[in-house]
Amino acid sequence: MLEVTTIGLDIAKHVFHAHGADERGRKIFSRKINRAKLLEFFASQPRCLVALEACGGAHHWARELMTLGHTVRLIPPSYVKPFVKRQKIDAIDAEAICEAVQRPNMRFVAVKSEEQQANMTVFRARDLFVRQRTQIVNALRGHMSEFGWIAPKGAAHLASLGELIDDTGTVPDAARPILKSLLESLTFLDSKIAELDKEIAQRARQDEAARRLMTIPGIGPISATAILALAPPIESFTKARDFAAWLGLTPLQKSTGGKQKLGATSKMGERTLRRLLIIGSSSVVLQAAKRGAPQGSWLQRMLVRKPRMLVTVALANKMARIVWALLSKKEDYRAPVVSAA
């Protein structure tokens, strides 16, 4: 009798599909499973390898299946797509997942704990509030410009628009309540962002690894805790360049025929962490451009030869490699000693 060794599971909201195969990859079953009966089904299966796409809810189901004794692997959806045959249906997707996980060189996504996902929620919520604040600010500027009032860029100048809205005669009476509601929304969002900033700072102070990361110039509480929450275990990267490549901070390669061709930054990794590192590196570059970098340092030599934005991305790449070194060796950052010229 054939025994199931691998199951590809295509998850959804209510109806799931499982494709079981033996050790040689031959199909044993392909069945549709209701959400309420999913754990009951896997509890009745022999302990085997279960593969899922790394999508919404995948980490939750991975933890549940691991408690049942199964070995669970999460695969990036882009790595499953080449194994999908023609039609886009759940059964074919589950079969493709089952086939992809059996490839010897397949890459997987680390299963996140509930604590990691809780920390991720803090950053996702903060990013959402910041985006909403930007949208409201732009909307407010656009509405006021329709009535002939322009404010300089920057949040500090929004107060002048608020004063204009309160003055009678500056805007139509029919528009004044709407504009005031936008200002009230801005005040609410500012308070929520400030609350989340305090929460993130508190978590950073309590975490030893976060305190270690904050010794790196350009990395503060938000970036430090985001790295620990969003990045997989640092042990999964064999060298610093792998971590920088995972973040999308390395050049895009288009090499053939023994000729190496490097293009622009790939931007193929974790967007949130890449953005935070670039923001942090931009602050370091800006300070160096204003006050001057240490004579003979890497940053000083780069600023002399390269455009500022290129130096910013290069420094973000360098910061990513330093992050990998600090987390791997469990050490604090030590600034490089600049040799006398």
pLDDT digits over 296-312, tens only? 888 988 999 999 999 99
pLDDT score of 252: 83
Contacts of 75 (CB under 8 A, 6+ apart): 51, 52, 53, 54, 97, 100, 101, 106, 107, 108, 109
Residues 242-253 as b/e (b if ≥16 CB within 10 A, e otherwise) read: ebbbbbbbbeee
CA distances from 35 to 14, 32, 65 (A): 5, 10, 13
pLDDT band at 340 (very low <50, low <70, confident <90, very high): low
CB of 214 closer than 8 Å to CB of 204:
yes
pLDDT at 176 over 80: yes
Q: What pLDDT, on a 0 to 100 scale, did the predictor assign at position 169?
A: 74
Euclidean distance between CA atoms 303 and 341, whole angstroms: 17
Round to whole Å and give the CA distance between 11 and 23. Answer: 23
Closest to 324 (Cα-Cα) out of 225, 189, 190, 227 = 227
Give strand pairing partners of 9: 18, 52
Question: Can you say how many angstroms the Cα of residue 31 is from the centroid of all Cα atoms in its chain?
Answer: 34
Q: How confident is the model at residue 119 (pLDDT cuts 50, 70, 90)?
A: confident
Residue type, 248: G
Q: What is the pLDDT of residue 338?
A: 62
Pick from 18, 120, 128: nearest CA to 70 = 18
Percent of the chain with pLDDT over 90: 63
Residue owning tokens 């300070």: 287
| Global model pTM greater than 0.85 | no
Q: Superfamily for 6-101?
A: ATPase, nucleotide binding domain (3.30.420.40)
Instruction: Give whole-number Cα distances, 337 to 102, 216, 274, 298, 334, in Å.
Output: 48, 15, 27, 11, 9
Residue 187 is encoded by which pair of tokens? 């005040």
Q: Read off the pLDDT of residues 210-255 as tens digits, 9 standing for 90 and up.
A: 999 999 999 999 999 999 988 988 998 999 999 999 999 988 888 7
